[in-house]
Structure 1
C-alpha cells in the first residue's frame, strides 16, 4: 500500500483527484476570461481616458477592475456577484495558485511513514466539521459553476447586454474618442447598436476576404 501511495495520490482517489484538478483549471480560466472581458467592457460603460489610465486599469487586480466597471456601493446585484466571486477567488484560485497554501490556516500536511507528506484540508468547524484529502468535491464544483453561470447571465442579460454582444462577437474594441462616441450614440437603442455591430462584422469579413 505504501508503494502505491508513493506513486501518487491519484492511485488512491483517481476520480476525486481528476475532479480537483479540473475544477482548479476551470476557476483559473474563468477569472482570466473575466479580467479580459472587464477591460473590453470599458468603452461601452463610460470609460474616460482623461480620468482613468487604461494601462493602470489593465494592471489592476481583478477585484479592482470589477469595482470600477460595476460599482458595488450603489448596485446591490453587482455587490452580491462580487462577494460570491471573491469567495471563490480566495478559496480556490489564490489558494491553489500558491501551492495549496491559503490565508486561513486550513491547509496542512501530515507525514505518513514510508510515504512522505500528504496534503489535507480542514473545514470550518462551524460550517462543515470534517477534513478531506481531496479539497474539492462534486458539491463544490456544482456550487462554483452556479455562481459563474449566475454572474454570466446577469452581465449578458442585464448589466452589459449590448456590450457583451460585441465582445462575444469577437470584434476589436477601441478606446479612442471616435469609437467611444460611436458606441455612445449607437447604444441609445438596441436596433442602432445592432446595426453598428453588423456593419463592423461586414467590414471584418470584407478585410478577411480581401474584398475591397
Structure 2
C-alpha cells in the first residue's frame, strides 16, 4: 500500500473482503509444477481492462497472488488458481493476456472475465481517495502532448494561409471560356471572380478560427508542462491551484519577473484575440461584452447591446476573420512562442519539446531545476537518461 494512505485501518480489510466475495472461486494457491500447464493464452480486450495495473493491484497487493516482475517483452505476471485450475495474467508489450491449461474449464473465460471486471470496479472505488490525495501533494504525471497540440494548430494555420493566398490571387480564365464581351458576358465574368474570392475567404475564415481555438488549447497545455520544467517548488495543493488559474495568470506566472512594455503589449494582443475571436466561436457565439445581443430602442429599431464597441466585434464584417486579421493572429502567436522558448524558459522549452512527461512532486521538480542549472550539458544528460528509460518501458526491453 502507498505511504500516507488516506484510508482508515478498517477500510483495507473491508476492501479485501469485498474482493474475495466478488472473486469467489479464485485462489492465490500456486504450485511450481503448474507452470507447464499454462499453454493456452487468450488476449483480453483492452476495453474490458483499460488499466491492467488495477488487476495487478487487486490480485497481488490485496489477495496475495504470486507474481513475477520484468521479463523480455513482459512487464508483470500474476499466478493463482480459479475453479481449482491454474491461471495467470500477464501484461505483455502487445496487451494483457490470460493463460490457462488447454481444454474444458470449470469456470469458462466469460465468467472469469466478468468477475475480474467486477473486482476492478471495487478496486477503482477503493483507490479514488488516494488519487485525490496524491494530486493535492503534486505526486502526479501529465502526458506531454505538446507535439499533438502544436501539429493541430499548424495544420489549420497552413490551411488558412493557403486559402487567403488563393483568395488574393488573380483568377485565371479557363481555356475556351468566353472573354466576357457585352454586358451579359461581363456580368457573368464578374460574378465568377467575386464567387471565387468569397469562397476562398470563407475557407480562410473557417480555418483561421479553428487555428485560433487550437492555439489557445495548445498554450493551456504548454503552460502546465512548463510549470513543472521550470523546476520551481510547489506547496501542497499548488498544482490544483495553478491549473484552476485563468490562462493569462498562468502565463504571467510562467514568464515571471518584471515584464517589459513589449511583453505586456503581446499579452494584450493575445487577450484581444481570445475575446474577439476565440471566445465567441468557442462559446456558442456569445461575446463577453454582449456584442452578440441586440436590444430594441423605440423609434430606432434593433441595436447591438455593446453599441459602438460592436465595431470591434467578430461579426462587424462579412467575414469575422479576414486575411489581415489572420496575419495579425499569427504574428501575435509567434511572439508568444518566442517568449515561452527564450531566456529563462529556453531550458524548460527544450525538455518540453523532447516529449518528457512532467512530474510535479518535489524530487522531480528539483531534478528539472538541477538539469537546467547545469546548462546544455545538464539538459542533454537528463534527456539521454529519460529517453533510455522511456524506450525501455515502451518496448518492454527488460
Shared fold, TM over 0.5: yes
Q: Do residues 195 (structure 1) and 381 (structure 2) align?
A: yes
Gaps of 5+ in 1: 1-9, 110-121
Question: Displacement, 1:52?
Answer: 5.8
1:60-103 CA deviation, whole Å, 9 max, x = no partner?
221121122223x7121542332121111111111222333323
Q: Which residue of 2 aligns with 1:74?
A: 258
Residues 180-191 of structure 1: pairs in structure 2 closer than 5 A: 180-188=365-373, 189-191=375-377
- Distance in 2 of aligned mates of 1:83 and 1:159: 22
Secondary structure at 1:187's aligned position in 2?
helix
Q: Which has the larger radius of gyration?
A: 2
1:135-162 CA deviation, whole Å, 9 max, x = no partner?
1101111110111112112322334111
TM-score of the superposed pair, with normalisation by structure 1: 0.76
Question: Displacement, 1:55?
Answer: 1.3
- Decide whether the 8 Å contact of 2:233 with 2:366 is kept in 1: no
Taking structure 1 as reference, are residues 186 and 32 closer, same or farther at Cα in structure 2, changes over 3 Å only?
A: same
TM-score of the superposed pair, with normalisation by structure 2: 0.43
Q: Which residue of 2 aligns with 1:135?
A: 320
Secondary structure at 2:233's aligned position in 1?
coil
> How many residue pairs get matched?
188
Taking structure 1 as reference, are residues 101 and 19 closer, same or farther at Cα in structure 2, changes over 3 Å only?
A: same
Secondary structure at 2:284's aligned position in 1?
coil
Gaps of 5+ in 2: 1-194, 295-306
Q: Which moved more, 1:74-83 or 1:169-178?
A: 74-83
Taking structure 1 as reference, are residues 125 and 28 closer, same or farther at Cα in structure 2, changes over 3 Å only?
A: closer
Structure 1 residue ranges, 4+ long, deviating more than 3 angstroms after superposition? 10-13, 103-109, 122-127
- Decide whether the 8 Å contact of 2:229 with 2:351 is kept in 1: no
Q: Which residue of 2 aligns with 1:207?
A: 393
Name the structure where helix makes up a greater proportion of residues.
1
- Distance in 2 of aligned mates of 1:89 and 1:75: 20
Higher relative contact order (CA 8 A, sep 6+): 1
Q: Which residue of 1 aligns with 2:297?
A: none
Q: Which moved more, 1:178-187 or 1:44-53?
A: 44-53
Backbone CA RMSD of aligned residues: 2.9
Question: Displacement, 1:40?
Answer: 0.8
- Distance in 1 of aligned mates of 2:248 and 2:279: 13
Taking structure 1 as reference, are residues 87 and 97 closer, same or farther at Cα in structure 2, changes over 3 Å only?
A: same
Residues 82-97 of structure 1: pairs in structure 2 closer than 5 A: 82-97=267-282
- Distance in 1 of aligned mates of 2:265 and 2:352: 24
Secondary structure at 1:23's aligned position in 2?
helix
- Distance in 1 of aligned mates of 2:346 and 2:263: 14
- Distance in 2 of aligned mates of 1:12 and 1:146: 24
Residues 9-20 of structure 1: pairs in structure 2 closer than 5 A: 13-20=198-205
- Decide whether the 8 Å contact of 2:231 with 2:367 is kept in 1: no
1:147-180 CA deviation, whole Å, 9 max, x = no partner?
1112112322334111111111111101111111
- Distance in 1 of aligned mates of 2:310 and 2:222: 37
Q: Which residue of 2 aligns with 1:58?
A: 243
Taking structure 1 as reference, are residues 47 and 74 closer, same or farther at Cα in structure 2, changes over 3 Å only?
A: same
Question: Displacement, 1:183?
Answer: 1.4
